[in-house]
Amino acid sequence: MKDISMEKIVNLCKQYGFVFPGSEIYDGFANTWDFGPVGVELKNNIKRAWWKRFVQEDMNTYGVDAAILMNPRVWEASGHVASFSDPKMDCKKCKQRFRADNLIEEHSNGKVAAEAMSNEQMQDYINDNHIVCPNCGGFDWSEIKQFKLMFETSRGTVEGNKDAVYLRPETCQGEYVNFLNVQRTMRAKLPFAIAQIGKSFRNEITPGNFLFRTIEFEQMELQKFCKEQDSMVFYEDYKKRALEFIEDLGLSSDKLRYHDHDKLAHYAKAACDIQYKFPIGWEELNGIHHRGTWDLSRHGEFSGKKMEYQDPETNEKYIPNVIEYSIGADRLTLAILCEAYEEEQLENDTREVMHFHPAVAPYKAAILPLVKKYHKDKAEEVYQMFSKSFMTTYDETGSIGKRYRRQDVIGTPYCITIDDETLNNGTVTIRDRDTMKQITLSLNDAINYIKEKIEF
User: Which positions ≥6 away from 56 have C-beta within 8 Å?
Assistant: none
Residues between 152 and 181 with contacts to ligand GAP, criterion CB under 6 A: 170, 172
Q: Considering beta carbons, is residue 204 or 230 the nearer one to ligand GAP?
A: 204
- Under DSSP, is residue 292 helix (H, G, I), strand (E, B) or coil? strand
Q: Considering beta carbons, is residue 326 or 393 the nearer one to ligand GAP?
A: 326
Measured in degrees and rounded to the nearest 5, phi and psi for residue 333 equal -60, -45
Residue from 328, 358, 411, 413 touching ligand GAP (CB under 6 A): that is 328
Residue from 101, 283, 330, 339 touching ligand GAP (CB under 6 A): that is 330
Plot region of 298 (φ>0 → left; ψ -120 to 50 → alpha; else → beta): alpha
Q: Considering beta carbons, is residue 280 or 400 the nearer one to ligand GAP?
A: 280
Plot region of 315 (φ>0 → left; ψ -120 to 50 → alpha; else → beta): left
Nearest to ligand GAP by Cβ — which residue?
A: 328
Residue from 287, 320, 358, 369 touching ligand GAP (CB under 6 A): that is 287
Number of residues in contact with ligand GAP, rule: CB under 6 A? 19
Q: Considering beta carbons, is residue 324 or 408 the nearer one to ligand GAP?
A: 324
We find the least distance from the C-beta atom of residue 266 to ligand GAP, in angstroms, to be: 16
We find the least distance from the C-beta atom of residue 208 to ligand GAP, in angstroms, to be: 10
Q: Does 217 bind ligand GAP (CB under 6 A)?
A: yes
Q: Considering beta carbons, is residue 183 or 219 the nearer one to ligand GAP?
A: 219
Q: How far apart are CA 130 and CA 133, in angstroms?
A: 10
Are 257 and 282 in contact, with CB atoms under 8 Å apart? yes
Helix, strand, coil in percent for the chain, rounding step 5: 35, 30, 35
We find the least distance from the C-beta atom of residue 437 to ligand GAP, in angstroms, to be: 37
Measured in degrees and rounded to the nearest 5, phi and psi for residue 176 equal -65, -45
Closest CA to 284 of 328, 248, 325: 328
Q: Is 121 exposed, middle or buried (0-12, 13-18, 19+ CB in 10 A)?
A: middle
Q: Considering beta carbons, is residue 263 or 373 the nearer one to ligand GAP?
A: 263
Residues between 77 and 116 with contacts to ligand GAP, criterion CB under 6 A: none
Residue from 45, 61, 196, 214 touching ligand GAP (CB under 6 A): that is 214
Single out the segment in contact with ligand GAP by CB under 6 A; choices: 4-12, 56-64, 235-243, 328-336.
328-336
C-alpha of 145 from chain center: 30
Q: Is 98 exposed, middle or buried (0-12, 13-18, 19+ CB in 10 A)?
A: buried
Question: Which CB contacts under 8 angstroms, 24+ apart, belong to 121-126?
Answer: 122/87, 126/89, 126/100
Q: Considering beta carbons, is residue 119 or 206 the nearer one to ligand GAP?
A: 206
Residue from 43, 202, 403, 431 touching ligand GAP (CB under 6 A): that is 202
Q: Considering beta carbons, is residue 88 or 213 the nearer one to ligand GAP?
A: 213
Q: How far apart are CA 429 and CA 432, in angstroms?
A: 10
In Å, how far are 133, 233, 234, 259, 268 from 237, measured between CA atoms? Answer: 43, 6, 5, 16, 17
Residue from 221, 295, 395, 408 touching ligand GAP (CB under 6 A): that is 221
User: Which positions ≥6 away from 334 have C-beta within 8 Å?
Assistant: 9, 210, 211, 212, 278
Single out the segment in contact with ligand GAP by CB under 6 A; choices: 74-82, 212-220, 340-348, 412-420.
212-220
- Under DSSP, is residue 221 helix (H, G, I), strand (E, B) or coil? strand
Are 430 and 404 in contact, with CB atoms under 8 Å apart? no
Single out the segment in contact with ligand GAP by CB under 6 A; choices: 14-22, 213-221, 246-254, 446-454.
213-221
Q: Does 357 bind ligand GAP (CB under 6 A)?
A: no
Q: Does 326 bind ligand GAP (CB under 6 A)?
A: yes
We find the least distance from the C-beta atom of residue 28 to ligand GAP, in angstroms, to be: 17
**x/- track of binding to ligand GAP for residues 247-286 (CB under 6 A):** -------------------------------------xxx
Single out the segment in contact with ligand GAP by CB under 6 A; choices: 57-65, 210-218, 304-312, 378-386.
210-218
Residue from 99, 213, 224, 355 touching ligand GAP (CB under 6 A): that is 213
Residues between 7 and 36 with contacts to ligand GAP, criterion CB under 6 A: none
Binding site for ligand GAP (CB under 6 A): 170, 172, 202, 204, 213-214, 217, 219, 221, 284-287, 324, 326-328, 330-331
